[in-house]
């Protein structure tokens, strides 16, 4: 599978290898001049040879990648590994000779590690280990343990770990995504080829299958793909296999003559389009449709259909693929991508997207739009005193108190640890101040009980109008944040209106 994937993505892989080899080698060679002019380092012949080796290895990698792409052969994996090893070895050799400037070498090392992860395709498992080994070797050679303070050493180690962890995650996500997409495409192509072949075979042996109805029924029923034969003039179900019966909830002893395809569509307009397409061009290939079982349970499926003749009548031979679970997962992923998992409110990204929509709507209607920015007072003390689990529960209770003061179409979001934003459509700043005061009082009067004792919370709220002339909500957030700061400075547990609210 991996070899097939590489062949399918050969152009992309070799393109990155060519650019990586040429640009990486040239940049590494050009640092020689930077060292000489800026760092005032006099390079020995061995150092210059090391940089030249990297440049030549990069050129060789680019050449091998170009040849592989022209011939359609496998990517030059050995050349890639050699280039990476020479690059790492040359750099470590430089560090071993000139390890006085730890900060400069550390930044160079982190850049090389980041580029190894982001720029060169990861084609071998060992390539995932190379940046880690390179980083560890650098730490061992660079004299980082001679840094000025323990904090300096810890910062360097932390940066090395973060860059490698993020790089590993980045490569794994990219590789997994590319291969998953490749497998999905191959599976769909295989399915389409299989279904297309079945349709062709059906047309070729139609007359022979008429004389052998039992064989047709056996092959039809045994197909793993849900298949349906339906009549054009009235949509009656003529034949249905076991897989389709299971998909649509039809019992084996059910009288097919009483079933018609319109009853299985959630939206009859979908069926009208499909029938019109089949009547005009004869084929419908892989469209998403919304069906329902005989008991009314929704089913999402991919439909492929062809028009043909059966017993002297125009019929449609239909194949279905159940994608209900896939669609459910997609919707759940979309929900998770826009929701704060702790509070159930919109997350920051979702809030900004909804805010842009509300700004456009308010501009069309020439209506007011206001923003509240809430911050829980002294919330760190709650976490320190009672623990994060109590703090999380307190945030949930605060969200309940806030939402009880809002309308169904107000937009509330958690945009920070204990910071929340509320967008109030069709509410001027005077009304927004009233809403903010209700929210503040509701939270102030709430009581929270824990095994360690009860406690109460308060919030400070900044209020600002949202300008409909702005494309984003950034300006209003800035004003609300300033107002929130004023409320905090005034003693907390207060509502403050933005000073420049008229210019929001």
425 pLDDT band, cuts 50/70/90, is very high
Burial of 147 (0-12, 13-18, 19+ CB in 10 A): middle
pTM: 0.45
- Alpha-carbon distances of 497 from 184, 340, 431, 437, 504, rounded to whole Å: 54, 27, 12, 11, 12
Token representation of residue 461: 């709220």
As assigned by CATH, the class of the 339-503 domain is alpha beta
CATH 3.30.70.270 residue ranges of the chain are 339-503
Mean of pLDDT over the chain: 81
Mean pLDDT of 425-447: 92
Q: What would the two tokens of residue 8 be?
A: 């399918």
Task: Answer yes or no: is pLDDT of 467 > 50.
Answer: yes
- Per-residue model confidence (pLDDT) at position 36: 55
With bands split at pLDDT 50, 70 and 90, how would you rate the model's confidence at 125? Answer: low
The more confident residue out of 81 and 266 is 266
Q: CB under 8 Å to 205, separation ≥6 — which residues?
A: none
pLDDT in tens, 59-115: 887 787 778 777 877 777 777 777 777 777 777 777 776 655 666 667 777 777 777
224 confidence band (pLDDT: 50, 70, 90): confident
- Name, of 13-22, 148-157, 273-282, the range with top average pLDDT: 273-282
pLDDT at 48 over 80: no
Residues of the chain with CATH 3.30.450.20: 220-324
In words, the CATH class of domain 220-324 is alpha beta
Average pLDDT in the 197-210 region? 70
pLDDT at 221: 82
pLDDT of residue 35: 59
The answer, yes or no, to whether residue 247 has pLDDT greater than 80, is yes
What CA–CA distance (Å, rounded) separates 274 from 287?
Answer: 9
Mean pLDDT of the 454-480 span: 88
Confidence of residue 273 (pLDDT cuts 50, 70, 90): very high
């Amino acid at each position: 599978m991996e070899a097939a994937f590489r062949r399918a993505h050969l152009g992309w892989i070799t393109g990155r290898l060519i650019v990586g080899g040429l640009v990486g080698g040239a940049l590494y060679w050009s640092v020689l001049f930077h060292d000489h002019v800026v760092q005032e380092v006099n390079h020995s012949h061995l150092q210059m040879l090391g940089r030249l080796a990297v440049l030549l290895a990069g050129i060789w990698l680019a050449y091998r990648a170009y040849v592989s792409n022209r011939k359609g052969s496998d990517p030059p994996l050995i050349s890639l590994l050699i280039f990476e090893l020479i690059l790492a070895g040359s750099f470590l050799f430089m560090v071993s000779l000139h390890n006085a400037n730890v900060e400069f070498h550390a930044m160079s090392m982190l850049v090389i590690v980041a580029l190894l992860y982001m720029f060169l395709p990861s084609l071998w498992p060992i390539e995932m280990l190379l940046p880690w080994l390179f980083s560890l070797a650098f730490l061992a050679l660079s004299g980082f343990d001679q840094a000025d303070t323990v904090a300096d050493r810890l910062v360097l180690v932390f940066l090395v770990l973060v860059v490698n962890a993020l790089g590993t995650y980045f490569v794994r996500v990219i590789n997994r995504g590319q291969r998953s997409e490749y497998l999905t495409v191959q599976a769909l192509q295989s399915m389409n080829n299989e279904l297309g072949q079945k349709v062709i075979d059906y047309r070729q042996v139609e007359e022979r299958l008429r004389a052998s109805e039992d064989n047709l029924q056996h092959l039809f029923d045994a197909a793993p793909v849900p298949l349906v034969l339906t009549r054009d003039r009235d949509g009656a179900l003529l034949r249905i296999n076991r897989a389709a019966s299971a998909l649509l909830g039809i019992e084996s002893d059910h009288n097919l003559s009483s079933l018609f395809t319109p009853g299985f569509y959630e939206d009859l307009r979908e069926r009208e389009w499909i029938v019109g397409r089949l009547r005009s061009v004869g084929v419908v290939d892989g469209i998403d449709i919304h069906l329902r079982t005989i008991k009314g349970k929704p089913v999402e499926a991919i439909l492929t259909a062809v028009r043909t003749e059966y017993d002297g009548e125009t019929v449609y031979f239909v194949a279905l693929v159940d994608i209900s679970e896939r669609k459910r997962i997609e919707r759940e992923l979309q929900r998770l991508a826009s929701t704060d998992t702790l509070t159930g409110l919109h997350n920051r990204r979702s809030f900004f997207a909804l805010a842009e929509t509300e700004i456009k709507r308010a501009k069309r209607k020439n209506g007011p739009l206001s923003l509240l920015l809430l911050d829980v007072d002294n919330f760190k003390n709650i976490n320190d005193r009672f623990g994060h689990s109590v703090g999380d529960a307190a945030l949930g209770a605060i969200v309940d108190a806030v939402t009880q003061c809002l309308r169904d179409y107000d937009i509330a979001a958690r945009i920070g640890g204990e910071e929340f934003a509320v967008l109030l459509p069709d509410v001027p700043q005077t009304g927004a101040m009233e809403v903010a005061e209700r929210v503040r009082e509701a939270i102030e009067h709430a009581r929270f009980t824990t095994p360690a004792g009860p406690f109460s919370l308060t919030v400070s709220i900044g209020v600002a109008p949202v300008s409909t002339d702005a494309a984003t909500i950034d300006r209003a957030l800035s004003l609300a944040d300033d107002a929130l700061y004023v409320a905090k400075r005034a003693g907390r547990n207060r509502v403050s209106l933005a000073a420049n609210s008229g210019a929001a």
